[in-house]
Chains A and B, each alone.
Chain A
Protein backbone atom coordinates (compact mmCIF):
# COMPACT_ATOMS: atom_id res chain seq x y z
CA UNK A 1 0.00 0.00 0.00
CA UNK A 2 1.31 3.46 -0.84
CA UNK A 3 1.26 6.32 1.61
CA UNK A 4 0.04 8.79 -1.00
CA UNK A 5 -2.86 10.84 0.36
CA UNK A 6 -6.15 10.52 -1.56
CA UNK A 7 -8.33 12.75 0.64
CA UNK A 8 -6.88 15.38 2.93
CA UNK A 9 -9.13 17.16 5.48
CA UNK A 10 -7.61 20.06 7.41
CA UNK A 11 -9.12 21.80 10.44
CA UNK A 12 -12.70 21.23 9.29
CA UNK A 13 -15.36 23.09 11.20
CA UNK A 14 -19.05 22.82 10.48
CA UNK A 15 -22.13 23.92 12.38
CA UNK A 16 -25.86 23.90 11.77
CA UNK A 17 -27.69 26.82 13.30
CA UNK A 18 -26.08 27.18 16.73
CA UNK A 19 -24.81 23.59 16.99
CA UNK A 20 -21.16 22.89 16.18
CA UNK A 21 -20.87 19.44 14.58
CA UNK A 22 -17.25 19.37 13.41
CA UNK A 23 -14.74 21.21 15.59
CA UNK A 24 -11.45 21.20 13.74
CA UNK A 25 -11.21 17.77 12.11
CA UNK A 26 -7.88 16.91 10.49
CA UNK A 27 -7.77 13.55 8.74
CA UNK A 28 -5.91 11.94 5.85
CA UNK A 29 -7.22 9.04 3.77
CA UNK A 30 -4.41 7.18 2.04
CA UNK A 31 -4.74 6.01 -1.53
CA UNK A 32 -5.98 2.42 -1.73
CA UNK A 33 -6.80 2.00 1.95
CA UNK A 34 -10.17 1.52 3.64
CA UNK A 35 -10.48 3.98 6.48
CA UNK A 36 -13.37 3.45 8.88
CA UNK A 37 -14.71 6.44 10.78
CA UNK A 38 -16.26 5.23 14.01
CA UNK A 39 -18.37 7.31 16.33
CA UNK A 40 -21.65 7.45 18.15
CA UNK A 41 -24.89 8.83 16.74
CA UNK A 42 -24.63 12.57 16.22
CA UNK A 43 -20.85 12.61 16.43
CA UNK A 44 -20.58 14.16 12.95
CA UNK A 45 -19.51 11.09 10.94
CA UNK A 46 -21.93 11.57 8.02
CA UNK A 47 -21.30 15.32 8.03
CA UNK A 48 -17.56 14.64 7.73
CA UNK A 49 -18.17 12.18 4.89
CA UNK A 50 -20.30 14.69 2.96
CA UNK A 51 -17.41 17.17 3.07
CA UNK A 52 -15.20 14.70 1.21
CA UNK A 53 -17.24 15.08 -1.99
CA UNK A 54 -18.34 18.65 -1.28
CA UNK A 55 -21.99 17.84 -0.66
CA UNK A 56 -21.44 20.09 2.35
CA UNK A 57 -19.13 23.09 2.49
CA UNK A 58 -17.12 23.65 5.66
CA UNK A 59 -17.49 26.80 7.76
CA UNK A 60 -13.70 26.68 8.13
CA UNK A 61 -10.92 24.39 6.98
CA UNK A 62 -10.15 22.68 3.68
CA UNK A 63 -10.73 19.41 1.86
CA UNK A 64 -8.38 18.23 -0.86
CA UNK A 65 -9.15 15.24 -3.11
CA UNK A 66 -6.29 13.95 -5.25
CA UNK A 67 -4.64 17.34 -5.02
CA UNK A 68 -7.77 19.36 -5.89
CA UNK A 69 -8.94 21.85 -3.27
CA UNK A 70 -12.73 21.40 -3.26
CA UNK A 71 -13.40 24.83 -1.77
CA UNK A 72 -11.86 26.50 -4.82
CA UNK A 73 -13.86 24.49 -7.38
CA UNK A 74 -16.80 25.65 -9.47
CA UNK A 75 -19.86 23.36 -9.67
CA UNK A 76 -18.60 22.05 -13.04
CA UNK A 77 -15.17 21.25 -11.57
CA UNK A 78 -16.83 19.57 -8.59
CA UNK A 79 -18.88 17.42 -10.96
CA UNK A 80 -15.61 16.13 -12.46
CA UNK A 81 -14.16 15.42 -8.99
CA UNK A 82 -17.34 13.60 -7.96
CA UNK A 83 -17.16 11.26 -10.94
CA UNK A 84 -14.08 9.78 -9.32
CA UNK A 85 -15.32 9.68 -5.74
CA UNK A 86 -18.57 7.75 -5.50
CA UNK A 87 -20.89 7.71 -2.51
CA UNK A 88 -23.16 5.06 -1.06
CA UNK A 89 -25.90 6.74 0.96
CA UNK A 90 -27.31 5.43 4.20
CA UNK A 91 -30.81 5.14 2.70
CA UNK A 92 -29.40 3.99 -0.67
CA UNK A 93 -31.03 7.04 -2.34
CA UNK A 94 -32.11 5.18 -5.47
CA UNK A 95 -34.35 7.26 -7.73
CA UNK A 96 -37.90 6.05 -7.01
CA UNK A 97 -39.24 6.76 -10.48
CA UNK A 98 -36.56 4.77 -12.34
CA UNK A 99 -35.99 1.02 -12.57
CA UNK A 100 -32.86 -0.49 -11.05
CA UNK A 101 -31.27 -0.66 -14.51
CA UNK A 102 -32.14 2.98 -15.23
CA UNK A 103 -30.73 3.98 -11.84
CA UNK A 104 -27.42 2.33 -12.65
CA UNK A 105 -27.44 3.78 -16.17
CA UNK A 106 -28.19 7.29 -14.86
CA UNK A 107 -24.60 8.51 -14.39
CA UNK A 108 -23.51 6.99 -17.72
CA UNK A 109 -26.35 8.74 -19.57
CA UNK A 110 -25.77 11.97 -17.66
CA UNK A 111 -22.09 12.11 -18.60
CA UNK A 112 -22.71 10.67 -22.09
CA UNK A 113 -19.89 8.22 -21.56
CA UNK A 114 -20.92 5.50 -24.00
CA UNK A 115 -23.43 4.47 -26.64
CA UNK A 116 -26.59 2.53 -25.68
CA UNK A 117 -25.34 -1.03 -26.43
CA UNK A 118 -22.16 -0.49 -24.39
CA UNK A 119 -24.17 1.28 -21.70
CA UNK A 120 -26.42 -1.76 -21.30
CA UNK A 121 -23.35 -3.99 -21.02
CA UNK A 122 -21.82 -1.79 -18.33
CA UNK A 123 -25.08 -1.68 -16.38
CA UNK A 124 -25.33 -5.47 -16.51
CA UNK A 125 -21.70 -5.84 -15.44
CA UNK A 126 -22.14 -3.43 -12.51
CA UNK A 127 -25.26 -5.26 -11.33
CA UNK A 128 -23.55 -8.65 -11.70
CA UNK A 129 -20.64 -7.38 -9.62
CA UNK A 130 -22.97 -6.73 -6.66
CA UNK A 131 -24.95 -9.93 -7.24
CA UNK A 132 -28.10 -8.30 -8.61
CA UNK A 133 -27.94 -9.51 -12.21
CA UNK A 134 -31.66 -10.28 -12.49
CA UNK A 135 -33.09 -7.08 -11.02
CA UNK A 136 -32.56 -4.68 -13.90
CA UNK A 137 -36.24 -4.18 -14.65
CA UNK A 138 -37.45 -4.01 -11.04
CA UNK A 139 -38.42 -0.77 -9.32
CA UNK A 140 -36.50 0.22 -6.14
CA UNK A 141 -39.69 -0.26 -4.09
CA UNK A 142 -39.66 -3.95 -5.07
CA UNK A 143 -36.20 -4.52 -3.55
CA UNK A 144 -35.27 -5.43 0.03
CA UNK A 145 -33.08 -3.04 2.07
CA UNK A 146 -29.93 -5.01 1.33
CA UNK A 147 -30.68 -5.23 -2.38
CA UNK A 148 -31.33 -1.48 -2.49
CA UNK A 149 -27.91 -0.81 -0.95
CA UNK A 150 -26.23 -3.15 -3.41
CA UNK A 151 -28.08 -1.56 -6.34
CA UNK A 152 -26.95 1.86 -5.08
CA UNK A 153 -23.40 0.52 -4.90
CA UNK A 154 -23.68 -0.69 -8.50
CA UNK A 155 -24.81 2.81 -9.50
CA UNK A 156 -21.87 4.32 -7.61
CA UNK A 157 -19.37 1.93 -9.20
CA UNK A 158 -20.57 2.12 -12.80
CA UNK A 159 -18.51 5.27 -13.37
CA UNK A 160 -15.41 3.33 -12.25
CA UNK A 161 -14.45 5.75 -9.47
CA UNK A 162 -11.12 5.72 -7.68
CA UNK A 163 -12.70 6.14 -4.21
CA UNK A 164 -15.99 5.24 -2.55
CA UNK A 165 -17.58 6.91 0.47
CA UNK A 166 -19.85 4.53 2.38
CA UNK A 167 -22.39 6.10 4.75
CA UNK A 168 -23.52 3.44 7.24
CA UNK A 169 -23.42 0.63 4.65
CA UNK A 170 -24.72 -2.08 6.99
CA UNK A 171 -27.23 -0.14 9.08
CA UNK A 172 -30.69 -1.71 9.01
CA UNK A 173 -29.51 -4.94 7.37
CA UNK A 174 -29.76 -8.43 8.84
CA UNK A 175 -26.41 -10.06 9.75
CA UNK A 176 -26.28 -12.21 6.62
CA UNK A 177 -26.87 -9.33 4.22
CA UNK A 178 -24.58 -7.08 6.28
CA UNK A 179 -21.81 -9.69 5.92
CA UNK A 180 -22.38 -9.73 2.13
CA UNK A 181 -22.02 -5.95 1.99
CA UNK A 182 -18.87 -6.10 4.13
CA UNK A 183 -17.34 -8.69 1.80
CA UNK A 184 -18.28 -6.54 -1.16
CA UNK A 185 -16.51 -3.50 0.33
CA UNK A 186 -13.38 -5.54 1.02
CA UNK A 187 -13.43 -7.20 -2.39
CA UNK A 188 -13.76 -3.85 -4.13
CA UNK A 189 -10.69 -2.60 -2.35
CA UNK A 190 -8.64 -5.72 -3.02
CA UNK A 191 -9.72 -6.35 -6.61
CA UNK A 192 -10.02 -2.80 -7.89
CA UNK A 193 -7.70 -1.01 -5.47
CA UNK A 194 -10.38 1.49 -4.52
CA UNK A 195 -9.87 3.93 -1.68
CA UNK A 196 -12.74 3.61 0.78
CA UNK A 197 -14.07 5.70 3.64
CA UNK A 198 -16.65 3.85 5.70
CA UNK A 199 -18.72 5.69 8.26
CA UNK A 200 -20.34 3.31 10.72
CA UNK A 201 -21.06 2.49 14.31
CA UNK A 202 -21.23 -1.24 13.49
CA UNK A 203 -18.06 -2.56 15.13
CA UNK A 204 -18.17 -5.95 13.41
CA UNK A 205 -18.28 -4.27 10.03
CA UNK A 206 -15.62 -1.74 11.04
CA UNK A 207 -13.02 -4.30 12.12
CA UNK A 208 -13.77 -6.51 9.12
CA UNK A 209 -13.18 -3.89 6.42
CA UNK A 210 -10.78 -1.41 8.05
CA UNK A 211 -7.13 -0.89 7.25
CA UNK A 212 -7.22 2.02 9.67
CA UNK A 213 -9.81 3.31 12.08
CA UNK A 214 -10.55 6.93 12.99
CA UNK A 215 -12.66 7.67 16.04
CA UNK A 216 -14.79 10.80 15.97
CA UNK A 217 -16.21 12.08 19.23
CA UNK A 218 -18.10 15.36 19.67
CA UNK A 219 -16.78 16.71 16.38
CA UNK A 220 -13.12 15.90 17.02
CA UNK A 221 -10.89 13.02 15.88
CA UNK A 222 -9.63 11.34 19.03
CA UNK A 223 -7.82 8.39 17.45
CA UNK A 224 -6.46 7.29 14.08
CA UNK A 225 -4.62 4.04 13.61
CA UNK A 226 -4.76 0.34 12.71
CA UNK A 227 -7.59 -1.76 14.20
CA UNK A 228 -5.25 -3.53 16.61
CA UNK A 229 -4.09 -0.18 18.02
CA UNK A 230 -7.70 0.95 18.31
CA UNK A 231 -8.48 -2.03 20.49
CA UNK A 232 -5.51 -1.25 22.70
CA UNK A 233 -6.09 2.51 22.77
CA UNK A 234 -6.04 4.28 26.11
CA UNK A 235 -8.47 6.95 24.94
CA UNK A 236 -11.34 6.68 27.42
CA UNK A 237 -14.08 7.56 24.90
CA UNK A 238 -12.84 5.05 22.31
CA UNK A 239 -12.39 2.43 24.99
CA UNK A 240 -15.94 3.01 26.22
CA UNK A 241 -17.29 2.92 22.64
CA UNK A 242 -15.56 -0.37 21.87
CA UNK A 243 -16.35 -2.09 25.12
CA UNK A 244 -19.97 -0.94 25.37
CA UNK A 245 -20.82 -3.05 22.34
Chain B
Protein backbone atom coordinates (compact mmCIF):
# COMPACT_ATOMS: atom_id res chain seq x y z
CA UNK B 1 0.00 0.00 0.00
CA UNK B 2 1.23 3.46 -0.81
CA UNK B 3 0.48 6.45 1.33
CA UNK B 4 2.09 8.47 4.03
CA UNK B 5 1.21 5.78 6.55
CA UNK B 6 2.60 2.99 4.43
CA UNK B 7 5.95 4.74 4.01
CA UNK B 8 6.50 4.95 7.75
CA UNK B 9 7.88 1.89 9.45
CA UNK B 10 5.51 0.93 12.27
CA UNK B 11 6.87 0.93 15.80
CA UNK B 12 7.77 -2.57 16.86
CA UNK B 13 9.31 -4.05 19.94
CA UNK B 14 13.03 -4.80 20.02
CA UNK B 15 14.22 -1.50 18.59
CA UNK B 16 14.28 0.36 21.87
CA UNK B 17 18.00 -0.29 22.30
CA UNK B 18 18.86 1.54 19.08
CA UNK B 19 19.34 5.32 19.19
CA UNK B 20 16.25 7.14 17.93
CA UNK B 21 18.26 9.05 15.33
CA UNK B 22 19.61 5.83 13.82
CA UNK B 23 16.15 4.27 13.70
CA UNK B 24 14.76 7.39 12.00
CA UNK B 25 17.64 7.33 9.48
CA UNK B 26 17.04 3.69 8.50
CA UNK B 27 13.27 4.29 8.47
CA UNK B 28 13.83 7.09 5.97
CA UNK B 29 16.27 5.12 3.82
CA UNK B 30 13.91 2.12 3.77
CA UNK B 31 10.94 4.35 2.99
CA UNK B 32 12.77 6.02 0.11
CA UNK B 33 13.88 2.68 -1.33
CA UNK B 34 10.30 1.39 -1.07
CA UNK B 35 8.91 4.53 -2.70
CA UNK B 36 11.51 4.40 -5.49
CA UNK B 37 10.74 0.75 -6.24
CA UNK B 38 7.06 1.51 -6.34
CA UNK B 39 7.60 4.51 -8.61
CA UNK B 40 9.67 2.40 -11.01
CA UNK B 41 7.01 -0.34 -11.13
CA UNK B 42 4.26 2.23 -11.65
CA UNK B 43 6.21 4.08 -14.36
CA UNK B 44 6.61 0.83 -16.30
CA UNK B 45 3.13 -0.63 -15.78
CA UNK B 46 1.01 2.48 -16.15
CA UNK B 47 2.97 5.69 -16.77
CA UNK B 48 1.30 8.98 -15.81
CA UNK B 49 -0.30 11.28 -18.35
CA UNK B 50 2.15 13.29 -20.44
CA UNK B 51 0.46 16.51 -19.23
CA UNK B 52 1.59 15.80 -15.64
CA UNK B 53 5.15 15.07 -16.75
CA UNK B 54 5.42 18.14 -19.00
CA UNK B 55 4.20 20.41 -16.18
CA UNK B 56 7.00 19.09 -13.98
CA UNK B 57 9.58 19.32 -16.77
CA UNK B 58 8.76 23.01 -17.05
CA UNK B 59 8.78 23.45 -13.28
CA UNK B 60 12.10 21.67 -12.79
CA UNK B 61 13.88 22.63 -16.01
CA UNK B 62 12.74 25.92 -17.48
CA UNK B 63 12.06 27.65 -14.18
CA UNK B 64 15.42 26.62 -12.74
CA UNK B 65 17.39 27.87 -15.71
CA UNK B 66 18.06 31.37 -14.38
CA UNK B 67 19.38 30.26 -10.97
CA UNK B 68 21.56 27.55 -12.56
CA UNK B 69 22.96 30.01 -15.12
CA UNK B 70 23.61 32.64 -12.49
CA UNK B 71 25.45 30.17 -10.29
CA UNK B 72 27.44 28.76 -13.20
CA UNK B 73 28.51 32.07 -14.74
CA UNK B 74 29.79 33.50 -11.47
CA UNK B 75 31.49 30.24 -10.50
CA UNK B 76 33.29 30.21 -13.86
CA UNK B 77 34.24 33.87 -13.45
CA UNK B 78 35.54 33.55 -9.91
CA UNK B 79 37.48 30.35 -10.71
CA UNK B 80 39.07 32.04 -13.69
CA UNK B 81 39.92 35.14 -11.67
CA UNK B 82 41.44 33.22 -8.76
CA UNK B 83 43.40 30.76 -10.87
CA UNK B 84 44.48 33.46 -13.31
CA UNK B 85 46.06 35.63 -10.66
CA UNK B 86 47.61 32.60 -8.91
CA UNK B 87 48.97 30.88 -12.02
CA UNK B 88 50.33 34.20 -13.36
CA UNK B 89 52.91 34.08 -10.54
CA UNK B 90 54.38 30.97 -12.17
CA UNK B 91 53.92 32.15 -15.71
CA UNK B 92 51.24 29.51 -16.22
CA UNK B 93 48.28 31.79 -16.94
CA UNK B 94 47.65 30.04 -20.26
CA UNK B 95 46.50 26.93 -18.40
CA UNK B 96 43.57 28.74 -16.80
CA UNK B 97 40.97 27.64 -19.36
CA UNK B 98 42.01 23.97 -19.04
CA UNK B 99 41.78 23.93 -15.23
CA UNK B 100 38.61 25.98 -15.10
CA UNK B 101 36.93 23.98 -17.87
CA UNK B 102 37.81 20.51 -16.61
CA UNK B 103 36.99 21.30 -12.99
CA UNK B 104 33.66 22.78 -14.05
CA UNK B 105 32.67 19.91 -16.33
CA UNK B 106 33.86 17.08 -14.08
CA UNK B 107 33.06 18.47 -10.69
CA UNK B 108 31.72 21.91 -9.98
CA UNK B 109 29.08 22.03 -12.70
CA UNK B 110 27.25 18.84 -11.64
CA UNK B 111 27.63 19.49 -7.90
CA UNK B 112 26.63 23.16 -7.89
CA UNK B 113 23.71 22.52 -10.26
CA UNK B 114 22.55 19.65 -8.03
CA UNK B 115 22.83 21.84 -4.92
CA UNK B 116 20.79 24.58 -6.59
CA UNK B 117 18.13 22.12 -7.78
CA UNK B 118 18.12 20.40 -4.38
CA UNK B 119 17.38 23.76 -2.79
CA UNK B 120 14.91 25.13 -5.30
CA UNK B 121 13.16 22.09 -6.71
CA UNK B 122 13.61 19.67 -3.79
CA UNK B 123 12.20 22.18 -1.32
CA UNK B 124 9.36 22.99 -3.72
CA UNK B 125 8.41 19.32 -4.16
CA UNK B 126 8.42 18.65 -0.41
CA UNK B 127 6.41 21.79 0.36
CA UNK B 128 3.84 20.98 -2.33
CA UNK B 129 3.44 17.29 -1.48
CA UNK B 130 3.60 18.10 2.24
CA UNK B 131 0.78 20.64 1.95
CA UNK B 132 -1.26 18.10 -0.01
CA UNK B 133 -0.58 15.47 2.66
CA UNK B 134 -1.63 17.59 5.64
CA UNK B 135 -4.79 18.79 3.86
CA UNK B 136 -5.79 15.18 3.03
CA UNK B 137 -5.36 15.73 -0.73
CA UNK B 138 -3.00 12.75 -0.99
CA UNK B 139 -5.50 10.56 0.88
CA UNK B 140 -8.23 11.96 -1.40
CA UNK B 141 -6.31 10.70 -4.44
CA UNK B 142 -6.18 7.23 -2.89
CA UNK B 143 -9.82 7.40 -1.80
CA UNK B 144 -10.79 8.09 -5.42
CA UNK B 145 -9.09 4.86 -6.44
CA UNK B 146 -6.11 6.67 -7.97
CA UNK B 147 -2.41 6.38 -7.16
CA UNK B 148 -0.43 9.21 -5.55
CA UNK B 149 2.75 7.50 -6.73
CA UNK B 150 1.57 7.56 -10.36
CA UNK B 151 0.15 11.08 -10.29
CA UNK B 152 2.53 12.85 -7.91
CA UNK B 153 5.79 10.95 -7.45
CA UNK B 154 6.54 9.53 -10.91
CA UNK B 155 6.16 12.86 -12.82
CA UNK B 156 8.39 14.67 -10.31
CA UNK B 157 11.05 11.96 -10.18
CA UNK B 158 11.10 11.68 -13.98
CA UNK B 159 11.32 15.45 -14.40
CA UNK B 160 14.28 15.75 -12.01
CA UNK B 161 16.01 12.73 -13.61
CA UNK B 162 15.61 14.19 -17.09
CA UNK B 163 16.21 17.85 -16.40
CA UNK B 164 19.17 17.79 -13.99
CA UNK B 165 21.60 16.38 -16.62
CA UNK B 166 20.26 18.92 -19.15
CA UNK B 167 20.71 21.77 -16.67
CA UNK B 168 24.17 20.44 -15.86
CA UNK B 169 25.21 20.64 -19.52
CA UNK B 170 23.84 24.17 -19.77
CA UNK B 171 25.54 25.10 -16.48
CA UNK B 172 28.85 23.69 -17.74
CA UNK B 173 28.64 25.76 -20.92
CA UNK B 174 27.64 28.93 -19.10
CA UNK B 175 30.40 28.38 -16.51
CA UNK B 176 32.99 28.02 -19.24
CA UNK B 177 31.66 31.20 -20.85
CA UNK B 178 31.99 32.99 -17.49
CA UNK B 179 35.60 31.83 -17.28
CA UNK B 180 36.17 32.93 -20.86
CA UNK B 181 34.79 36.38 -20.08
CA UNK B 182 37.32 36.87 -17.28
CA UNK B 183 40.09 35.26 -19.35
CA UNK B 184 39.56 37.82 -22.09
CA UNK B 185 38.83 40.92 -19.99
CA UNK B 186 41.08 40.40 -16.96
CA UNK B 187 43.78 37.96 -18.01
CA UNK B 188 44.33 39.28 -21.52
CA UNK B 189 43.88 35.88 -23.18
CA UNK B 190 42.28 35.69 -26.60
CA UNK B 191 38.90 33.97 -26.85
CA UNK B 192 40.16 31.60 -29.54
CA UNK B 193 43.16 30.60 -27.44
CA UNK B 194 40.97 30.10 -24.37
CA UNK B 195 38.53 27.81 -26.20
CA UNK B 196 41.18 25.88 -28.20
CA UNK B 197 43.28 25.34 -25.11
CA UNK B 198 40.28 23.88 -23.28
CA UNK B 199 39.23 21.66 -26.19
CA UNK B 200 42.74 20.17 -26.36
CA UNK B 201 42.40 18.61 -22.89
CA UNK B 202 38.67 18.17 -22.41
CA UNK B 203 37.68 14.56 -23.12
CA UNK B 204 34.27 13.08 -23.73
CA UNK B 205 34.75 10.97 -20.59
CA UNK B 206 35.05 14.19 -18.56
CA UNK B 207 31.62 15.23 -19.79
CA UNK B 208 30.11 11.78 -19.21
CA UNK B 209 31.60 11.59 -15.72
CA UNK B 210 29.85 14.84 -14.79
CA UNK B 211 26.59 13.85 -16.45
CA UNK B 212 26.66 10.38 -14.88
CA UNK B 213 26.97 11.92 -11.46
CA UNK B 214 24.12 14.31 -12.16
CA UNK B 215 21.77 11.36 -12.82
CA UNK B 216 22.57 9.93 -9.38
CA UNK B 217 22.18 13.36 -7.77
CA UNK B 218 18.81 13.76 -9.50
CA UNK B 219 17.58 10.47 -8.10
CA UNK B 220 18.70 11.37 -4.56
CA UNK B 221 17.04 14.80 -4.72
CA UNK B 222 13.79 13.48 -6.18
CA UNK B 223 13.50 10.52 -3.81
CA UNK B 224 14.31 12.57 -0.70
CA UNK B 225 11.93 15.38 -1.67
CA UNK B 226 8.99 13.09 -2.50
CA UNK B 227 9.49 10.90 0.58
CA UNK B 228 9.70 13.88 2.92
CA UNK B 229 6.61 15.44 1.35
CA UNK B 230 4.50 12.29 1.61
CA UNK B 231 5.47 11.59 5.23
CA UNK B 232 4.79 15.06 6.64
CA UNK B 233 2.89 15.17 9.90
CA UNK B 234 1.86 18.10 12.06
CA UNK B 235 0.36 20.72 9.75
CA UNK B 236 2.13 23.82 8.47
CA UNK B 237 4.88 23.47 11.04
CA UNK B 238 5.53 19.92 9.85
CA UNK B 239 5.69 21.07 6.22
CA UNK B 240 8.29 23.67 7.17
CA UNK B 241 10.42 21.14 9.03
CA UNK B 242 10.17 18.60 6.21
CA UNK B 243 11.19 21.21 3.65
CA UNK B 244 14.26 22.12 5.70
CA UNK B 245 15.11 18.42 6.10
CA UNK B 246 14.91 17.94 2.33
CA UNK B 247 17.32 20.77 1.59
CA UNK B 248 19.80 19.60 4.24
CA UNK B 249 19.53 15.89 3.37
CA UNK B 250 19.73 16.51 -0.40
CA UNK B 251 22.78 18.79 -0.02
CA UNK B 252 24.63 16.38 2.26
CA UNK B 253 23.77 13.40 0.07
CA UNK B 254 25.02 15.22 -3.04
CA UNK B 255 28.28 16.24 -1.39
CA UNK B 256 29.01 12.85 0.21
CA UNK B 257 27.95 10.76 -2.78
CA UNK B 258 30.03 13.01 -5.05
CA UNK B 259 33.23 11.63 -3.52
CA UNK B 260 32.23 8.00 -4.00
CA UNK B 261 30.79 8.60 -7.46
CA UNK B 262 34.01 10.35 -8.49
CA UNK B 263 35.98 7.30 -7.36
CA UNK B 264 33.54 5.04 -9.19
CA UNK B 265 33.75 6.97 -12.44
CA UNK B 266 37.54 7.14 -12.17
CA UNK B 267 37.67 3.35 -11.94
CA UNK B 268 35.12 2.94 -14.73
CA UNK B 269 36.97 5.25 -17.13
Q: How many residues of A contact B (CB 8 A)?
A: 33
Q: How large is the interface on B (under 10, 10 to 19, 20 to 34, 35 or more residues)?
A: 20 to 34
Pair B139/A110 contact, Cβ less than 8 Å: no
Query: Known: A110-B144, A110-B145. Contact between A93 and B1, CB under 8 A?
Result: no
Give B1-45 interface residues, CB cut-off 8 Å to A.
1-3, 5-6, 10-11
Min Cβ gap B55→A in Å is 9
Interface string of B139-152 (1 = CB under 8 A from A): 11011111100010
Contact A91:B135 (CB < 8 A) given known A53-B143, A75-B147: yes
Question: Roughly how many angstroms separate A89 CA and B136 CA in the complex, as a whole number?
Answer: 7
Chain B residues positioned under 8 Å from A57 (CB to CB) = 1, 5-6
Q: Determine whether B137 belongs to the interface, using a CB cutoff of 8 Å to chain A.
A: yes
With contacts A18-B11, A75-B1, A75-B147 taken as known, whether A55 is within 8 angstroms of B137 at the C-beta atoms is no
Whether A82 contacts B137 in the complex (CB less than 8 A), given A55-B3, A56-B5, A57-B5, comes out as no
Q: Which residue of B lies closest to A82 (CB)?
A: B145
The answer to whether A80 touches B145 (Cβ under 8 A) is: yes
| CB of B9 to closest CB in A, whole Å | 12
A89 contacts B139, C-beta separation under 8 Å: yes
* Structural contact, A93 and B146, CB atoms closer than 8 A: no
Contacting A at CB under 8 A, from B131-185, are 131-132, 135-137, 139-140, 142-147, 151
Would B140 and A89 count as touching, CB distance under 8 A?
yes
- Seen from chain A, the residues whose Cβ lies within 8 Å of a Cβ on chain B are 17-18, 50, 53-57, 59, 75, 78-83, 86-87, 89-91, 93-96, 106-107, 110-111, 152, 155-156, 159
Chain B residues proximal to chain A, CB less than 8 Å: 1-3, 5-6, 10-11, 131-132, 135-137, 139-140, 142-147, 151
A59-B10, A83-B145, A110-B145 known, 5 other contacts, Cβ within 8 Å: A53-B143, A79-B147, A96-B131, A96-B132, A111-B145
The 4 A-B residue pairs with the shortest CB-CB distance, nearest first, are A93-B140, A93-B136, A79-B145, A82-B145
